[in-house]
A and B are shown apart, each in its own frame.
Chain A
Amino acid sequence: MTEALPMAGAAANTNLAGLTKNDYRGNPSTLCQGCGHNSISNQIISACYEMNVVPENVLKFSGIGCSSKSPTYFLNRTFGFNSLHGRMPSIATGGLFGDHHLKGISVSGDGDSASIGMGQFKHVMRRNVNMVYIVENNGVYGLTKGQFSATAEKGLNLKKQGENPYMPVDICMEALVSNATFVARSFAGNPKQVKELLKAAISHNGIAVLDIISPCVTFNNQENAFHSYAWGKDHEEPLQEISYIAPRSEIMLEREMEEGEIREVTMHDGSIVILKNLEKGYDTSSRFEALRVMEESQRNNWLVTGLLYLDTTKPSLTSRYNLVDTPLNRLTEADLRPARASIDKVNALMF
């Protein structure tokens, strides 16, 4: 994912890919002022810039909704596909076969993933498609003016909608039970954590789910609502402090080591994610522990954030397929059309 490029002659504000932060920006956002999604877009820009990501090595995907509009607002030099409501996972699954060296950064929302797209959400987990799957989660349908989404908490009162009678869907739990290999939760109001989790997710070779509580300032930002800034700030319980360290081959990293470090996790590309546990002995390799912590936080009305689960041993979808090193979309007729002689063999196989 990350590429080491020569530093010589680079201006102070360029990264190791020789790019400025502007090279990672997108078009101006058309979302509401103060929308949590804009903050997440900014962290994607920062994370990619700091990781020296080459924009052409990424593909952006999204479904439909406010969140799904946001790929226009970052990484202008990256190919993107704003697809259908709830169907981003399938477009990404096929799209990432084109060139399996590329990384997907996908943005969806709670409406897009937890309702209409629940089937595709679950299946993209079990296939371990190589992409970051961000759910910008605000508990509400914004573009259609404020209906409840499936992640809205029971009892939530919204203008025009009345009281939500149903239990919510928990994105992280759903991801976990579908065998996702990287599951994290964060809060748009905690940009540092969002950025560090994004970096870890980008380094992960497989599906990396980031459920980011991202308050809707227009339709769902009441003080007592789960998906609000005020509630998030008051109830956030970080699971660990998280720092991302780029692959050792690229830059020195000792300076970033922090005291009190408990666990280092080496990612596929050699980068390291440092987890400083706040809770004693939290084990990111245990699905059971992750489910227990989520259950506990639900009971106590906590917003538990951090890296909940990580498994770096499972192959991603494209690595399972044992593909040629050349990207499939660079293969030519010589690679793709069987030789002339084989037509006789085929005809001989028929009766």
Chain B
Amino acid sequence: MNKVINDFTITVGTVNGSGSSTANNTILRSIFKMGIPVSGKNLFPSNIQGLPTWYTIRVNKDGFIAQHEERNIVITLNPNSFARDLASVAPGGAFYYSDDIKQPVTRTDIAIYAMPVKTIVKNDPNVPTDFRDLVGNMVYVGVLAHMINMDLEKVLAALTFHFKGKQKPIDMNFNAVKAGAEWAKANLVKNDPYQLEAMNKTDGLIMADGNTAAAIGSIFGGVQFAGWYPITPASSLAEALNDYLPQLRKREDGKHTYAVVQAEDELAALGMAVGAGWAGLRSMTSTSGPGLSLMTEFAGLAYYAEIPVVIWDVQRIGPSTGLPTRTSQGDLTFAYFIGHGDSHSVIMLPGDVGECFDFGWQSFDLAERVQTPVFVLSDLDMGMNQWMSKPFQYPNVPMDRGKVLWEKDLEEIKGNWGRYLDKDGDAIPYRTIPGNKHPMSSYFTRGTGHDEYAKYTEEADMFLKNMDRLKRKNETAKKYVPAPILRSTKGSTAGIIAFGSTEAAILEAQNQLENDHGIKTDFLRIRAIPFTREVDAFLAKFEQIFVVEMNRDGQMYQILLTEYPQYASRLRSVAFGDGMPASAKWVREGILDRYESGTLPSTKGAGKSGVKKSAPAKRASAKSTPIAKKTTKKTVAGPKSKAKRK
């Protein structure tokens, strides 16, 4: 039988709440420790116990770690999803199941392995009765380890990490792994091609989830106040603050330099954070779409009152119950225009776990510099799943606390200042902070209706002047937001614009477009709004630009259309949101559906390419007919291609 080395997917179907996450993380970490690029995604229901849940692992030697639709190895312990799981295995794949499930196995085109998960654990006298189900999950880890050559030493390392070195649970679980592996060795004959082989491609990398990275980044940014309210998938961000703040900001006197308050709702969560930002603290909140809705009024107030605060939105699908445990990029236009009256938010768009860390600290600098709420839009896939990442990098610049006047500053200018006075011409005024003891320090804060000295006014001229300055402030913000990342391919004829967690899928799709369809593309990953001049340049370069995003309406596309009407005819929306993380397949097919062959890089202004009505990208669509001839040499434009940070 042919071997397929380091290029397949593993899907584990279990019952939610059965404790399989330790087992699944162990598989993920073991493969990572074997040096093989890997990703793991938890596809879980909104439920505490009982509903089916799946964990998918993608192993890929070339570093393509986006979600992949093909199911090569499927393991199921859940009778309720058994039939569905069995049907999902791709031809030639492998199906493992717990042999206590007595259901017909109807397929002959795949390898079938029944595992005595329950009996192996039952026969181990060292496993207490209450732990049987939990430890039972480790049996499939062991069986799989034997069948795909997963290194048991790495499994032990993963368990040691998970149980923080506590010997008793490590032993109990590892014994179950070994028992599973030994049973497989004695009883199973390998009848599928999928195998692991150690590599060195994860050397120097760490594994972390975006929410933890964001929290730790925020701590390195000096977070002093966080107000929050529980919501999936953002809760673990605030919980990570609670976990890591005591360690990282420990003082000899045992006193605290921060406060984290769980609020009664999201209105209060942002209200507290805005209050703390107003009072001079590095202040934040973290939430998801529904919470952001409740925060809208305060976000609008903070924009007009010019109060620095950082708002993390770990995006999920839709309102209310809906698909709360599924990922999305559906809050972009909402966050951009949030508030009442005119407003343009400053938005940061981290694209990976490392950037969640970086934007964790940079967002405070940005918020305090520009004196405005800064929205950081992550998503469930990035926030809650474990990703390979470069180690977190210590901040390379000192903190920027922005324009603040303390007592000595006021002494120097003899108290002559105005809270909303544009003294420097950059539209950013100076502010004082409550607690300042100078008699001229105080001012009264309101939404609109204030003059340059924060005095109450309803004068039309004054209102207009202030609105104009707020708009100019957005221009100033361009100097401080992170520039996009451009990945260019020699001879590219089209551009791709995307943001956030879709990067892995896009890199893989670029590779497929080039190798299978001869379409070379440049990829611009936008990392912030307002857009910087790099975005202008990218739009000017190509006659076809595909804007890829995980939502229905093409929200980034809409914002680009508004900001760059002169390039409207070049932009094509590839938008799709069904709650699953982006895959190379739908990116590729979405682009192919809209691609017009025969276009060349533009040399002047807006191109003449016709506007094709954009239909929603269809995941199921199998249209992959080559559109342009393969004329170019195969150059891998995947993770290997040079990334330029401008």
Contacts and interface: CB of A to CB of B under 8 A. Distances in A.
B264 A95 contact: no
Interface in B201-220: 206-208, 212, 216, 219-220
Contacts of B474: none
Interface string A89-106: 111111111110110000
Q: Which of A91, A101, A333 has the most CB of B within 10 A?
A: A91
A329 interface: yes
Range, interface on chain A: 35 or more
Given A102-B434, A346-B216, A94 B272 contact: yes
Given A90-B263, A95-B276, A324 B255 contact: yes
A98 to B, nearest CB: 2
Given A333-B398, A342-B248, A346-B216, A322 B206 contact: no
Interface in B408-459: 432-439, 441-446, 456
Given A72-B444, A323-B255, A333-B398, A346 B392 contact: yes
Interface stretch (B41-49, B278-286, B490-498): B278-286
Contacts of A84: 271, 297-298, 301
A98 B433 contact: yes
A123 interface: yes
A160 interface: no
A235 interface: no
Interface stretch (A8-16, A74-82, A195-203, A216-224): A74-82
Given A71-B444, A94-B283, A350-B207, A336 B224 contact: yes
A60 B445 CA distance: 10
A121 to B, nearest CB: 10
A120 interface: yes
A80 B442 contact: yes
B298 A87 contact: yes
Nearest to B438: A56
Contacts of B393: 343
Contacts of A96: 275, 279
A78 B434 CA distance: 8
B399 A329 contact: no
Contact of B158 (A54, A89, A330, A351): A351
Contacts of A234: none
B265 A119 contact: yes
B82 to A, nearest CB: 31
B161 interface: yes
A329 B272 contact: no
Nearest to A341: B394
A175 to B, nearest CB: 16
B249 interface: yes
A84 B161 CA distance: 47
Given A87-B271, A123-B268, A336-B399, A330 B282 contact: no
Contacts of B84: none
Contacts of B394: 340, 343
Interface string A110-141: 00000000011001000100000000000000
Interface string B252-281: 011111110101110111111111111111
Given A77-B442, A329-B279, A324 B259 contact: no
B255 A347 contact: no
A340 B248 CA distance: 11
Contacts of A55: 442
B319 interface: no
A343 B360 CA distance: 14
Interface string A37-69: 000000000000000001110011000000000
Contacts of A56: 435-439, 441-442
Contacts of A101: 435
Given A83-B271, A322-B254, A329-B279, 6 more contacts: A94-B273, A94-B274, A97-B279, A98-B280, A328-B281, A346-B244
24 contacts: A59-B434, A78-B442, A81-B445, A83-B301, A84-B271, A87-B268, A89-B271, A90-B263, A91-B271, A93-B268, A94-B227, A97-B224, A98-B435, A99-B279, A120-B267, A123-B263, A127-B261, A322-B255, A328-B257, A336-B224, A350-B389, A351-B29, A351-B158, A351-B206
